[in-house]
Structure 1
Amino acid sequence: MISEKANRIFEQAIENYHLFDSIDCPYNNPYASHTLDYLLYKKCWIDTMQWHMEDEVRDPDIDPVVGLEWKRRIDDSNQLRTDTVELIDNYFLRHFSHVIPQNDARVNTESPAWALDRLSILCLKIYHMRQETQKINASPQHVTSCMEKLMVLLRQHEDLSRSIDELLDDIRKGKKYMKVYKQMKMYNDATLNPVLYAARK
């Protein structure tokens, strides 16, 4: 089951990041670069870094110049995240290239990699919500509220994991087929963002 592998790797990446708990901590992907495992680990590492960047930029007392620097780092991270998701989809496209879809096969609302993207983020939510339930100095109300939220996240995690496995099984059997659209983000493209291409004149 791909979800079992993905969840294990996502949890590994999150735990490894929090050994340092620093946005600029060393990145050492333990998997061979040509493998799906490598891409899954990289994907979750990017998400984990970005999670903490988003925390930083929401500081109500942040210096506007520093806030802009974080915003630009978040933009760069978003682009890298998108590029990595597309590489994961390319892996699945190759993996299922021999499958002939059934005549009534349907395309899914999202690709396998974008579903895995949501799973990675969900693993991060679970990790940090669980931390909130374990705070020594937290009020009982805070802990109870976070426990309730954690239970919802865990049910969501179970449902999403199962759905990903079912989607990939349907693709393998030809019941569904992959149709991947590149994100074509415009804001980072100097030929498409009017502010960027005006600055080049």
Structure 2
Amino acid sequence: MFSSFAFKIFQESIDTYHIKDNVSQEFSNPYPKDKVEHLLYRKNWIDTVQWHYEDIIRDPEINPDDALELKRKIDASNQDRTDLVEYIDSYFLDKYKSVEIRQDATINTESPAWALDRLSILALKIYHMQEEVDRKDASPEHIQKCTEKLNVLLEQKKDLSSAIDQLLKDIESGSKYMKVYKQMKMYNDDELNPVLRGQKG
């Protein structure tokens, strides 16, 4: 199943990141550029680095200049994340381009890649919640609460994985079809963001 295949790659990315556990570490993709594995690994690495950006920026003692620089890194990361999702959807569009779409076919509320985006984030939630469960310095109450949360996340993983695999099966059979809408983010565009537009000239 594709969801299981993708989740293993997400886990590999997360585990590799945490060997050094540093947002500034060098990125190296172990998969060839012409493989979907390459896109999935890169996608999760972006998510993993951003997860830790978000931790850092919430430090109440953070220097304001550092916070501003980090905010801009988060903005750039969000754009990279969106681009990767669209690349992954392009993979699925190409894969299923010869499928004959049925007359009664319907479109899904989200594309396969955006569902995989949720699975990537879920992999991070599971990893970090497991860390909390395994903490030796935490109270029994904390560990119990985190264990309960981890069980919910694992149930969510099961449900989301099933939904992704069913969606791909439906697209492959022609009973669902997919479209990719290029994300029209306005806040980075100096023609659409009024603050940036005001600085032109």
Q: TM-score, normalised by structure 2?
A: 0.98
Residue 29 (1) aligns with residue 29 (2): yes
Residue 6 (1) aligns with residue 13 (2): no
Match of 1:147 in 2: 147
Amino acid at match of 2:68: L
Q: CA deviation at 1:132?
A: 0.2
Match of 1:75 in 2: 75
Amino acid at match of 1:32: P
1:36-83 deviation line (CA, Å, top 9, x unaligned) = 100000000000000000000111121222111111100000000000
Match of 2:178 in 1: 178
Q: CA deviation at 1:34?
A: 1.4
1:90-148 deviation line (CA, Å, top 9, x unaligned) = 11111111011111100000000000000000000000000000111100000000000
Superposition pairs of residues 32-51 of structure 1, within 5 angstroms: 32-51=32-51
Superposition pairs of residues 109-120 of structure 1, within 5 angstroms: 109-120=109-120
* Greater Cα offset, 113-122 or 60-69: 60-69
Match of 1:200 in 2: 200
CA distance in 2, matches of 1:150, 1:91: 32
Superposition pairs of residues 77-96 of structure 1, within 5 angstroms: 77-96=77-96
Amino acid at match of 2:89: D
Gaps of 5+ in 2: none
CA distance in 1, matches of 2:190, 2:41: 30
CA distance in 2, matches of 1:78, 1:110: 18
Q: CA deviation at 1:197?
A: 2.1
Q: What is the count of residue pairs matched by the alignment?
A: 201
* Greater Cα offset, 75-84 or 183-192: 183-192
**What is the root-mean-square deviation in Å for CA atoms of aligned residues?**
0.7
1:122-177 deviation line (CA, Å, top 9, x unaligned) = 00000000000011110000000000000000000011011100000000000100
Q: 1:102 aligns to what SS in structure 2? A: coil
CA distance in 2, matches of 1:51, 1:134: 20
* Greater Cα offset, 189-198 or 112-121: 189-198
CA distance in 2, matches of 1:73, 1:109: 30
Amino-acid identity (%)? 57
Q: 1:53 aligns to what SS in structure 2? A: helix
Runs of 4+ in structure 1 displaced over 6 angstroms? none
Amino acid at match of 2:157: H
Match of 1:54 in 2: 54
Q: 1:55 aligns to what SS in structure 2? A: helix
Match of 2:126 in 1: 126
CA distance in 1, matches of 2:35, 2:184: 25
Amino acid at match of 2:39: L
CA distance in 2, matches of 1:160, 1:116: 9
